[in-house]
Amino acid sequence: MRVLIVCILSLFNVNVAIAQSAVLYEYDGNFDDATFSVEGAIVGRGLIIDHVSHTGEMLSRTAVDVGSDKEIFKAADIFLFCSAVISRTVMEADPMNIVHCPYTIFVIEDQSGVYIGHRTYPEGPMQIVQGLLISLVNDALEF
């Protein structure tokens, strides 16, 4: 399935990298524009963002406290949201799909650039969620 996703995305001429259990999309712009685009894509579908985790700020703020001086990200935010319709569908198929909720899209900036990404999901009903995330990221890339 991953190969199929990468093939489909390559049709859109999108720079995509699959890293462990995440898919990264290179964003042509700055971090603030990327987060604005992701927020717009999610809200534009009528979905509610439950929380934005400012993970990059937390890592920077706590580095000294944990004895580190390594910069992991220049910036990193994670958008948490859900779709009532899709969540019901995947949890009716298997109630244990609750472990995948809420869904997330992240934006990171590191020394090599700005990226939008999402995790990958197991085969089966959760591919509906993965399809939603791919679609939302594509919307953000075009925003």
Encoded tokens for 17: 């990298």
Q: Is 48 helix (H, G, I), strand (E, B) or coil?
A: strand
Residue with tokens 């869904």: 103
Convert the pLDDT of each residue in 103-119 to its tens digit: 999 999 999 999 999 99
pLDDT tens column, 82-111: 999 999 999 999 999 999 999 999 999 999
What's the pLDDT tens digit per position in 47-79?
999 999 999 999 999 999 999 999 999 999 999
What's at 128, amino acid-wise? I
Q: Note the pTM of the prediction, 2 decimals.
A: 0.84
- Residue 14 token pair: 């999108």
